[in-house]
Homo-oligomer: A and B are copies of this chain.
Amino acid sequence: MTEGPGRRERKKQQTRDTLIATAARLFQERGYEATGVADIAEAADVSKRTFFLHFPTKEDVLLSDGRARLDLAIRVIEERAPGTPLRDALAASLAAMIDDTAARDLPTGMAALRARLIVESPAVQARVLHTAFAGQARIADALLDAYPDELDRTTAAAVLGAVVGAVSAAAMAALREDGDPAAVTEAMRRAAAIALTTLDSLGD
């Protein structure tokens, strides 16, 4: 009895993977706006209805791995070593996300595609921002749980907003200037470092 998911679950996952790969290819070839959900479904040989069974919106097919990355960031905070200072926990959480992106997405070219589409499609941009914002709120909650004596809810939100805002904006600026992935990653790290200084002034 090999554990693991059964055939049904595996087929479901396969459908999902096919949809992601197909969408990525079509977006690459024709551009985001010019590719309809019906086209993706057609090319993946499933119904349009099936697409929406797997992804709530067209944009989400691009952000499929975002939740895993968010979980990672939160886990880093929750599983910190006892006595870890707030600043270090947040820095580690950020670094984990950036490293994970660099390690997983950059080689596959997914990061590059996503970057291109973020720059060229306002709809994607809006969706990414919204997702990031929601994720940042969850991290803020985790941080508040972990350091209840040093933070209140609004301050936690402000700190996370500053950090995520800085990283996002820097990444976008770097993307627009030159798309080199290494340069973008470096810009994100620098922005994170800058924004983390907000924590140094908290005990006033």
A residues bordering B, Cβ < 8 Å? Answer: 122, 125-127, 129-130, 133, 136-137, 140, 153-170, 172-174, 177, 187, 190-191, 194-195, 197-198, 200-202
Contacts and interface: CB of A to CB of B under 8 A. Distances in A.
Contacts of A166: 158-159, 161-162, 165, 198
Contacts of A157: 169-170, 172-173, 191
- The interface centre, meaning the residue of A140, A159, A165, A191 with most chain B CB atoms within 10 A of its CB, is A165
Contacts of A167: 158, 161
B200 A162 contact: no
Copies of this protein, total: 2
A93 B3 CA distance: 60
A202 B194 contact: yes
A200 B197 contact: yes
22 contacts: A126-B129, A133-B172, A136-B169, A140-B169, A154-B190, A157-B169, A157-B172, A157-B191, A158-B169, A158-B173, A158-B190, A158-B194, A158-B195, A161-B165, A161-B168, A161-B170, A161-B195, A162-B163, A162-B194, A165-B165, A197-B198, A197-B201
Contacts of A129: 126, 129-130, 133
Contact of A122 (B125, B130, B172, B177): B130
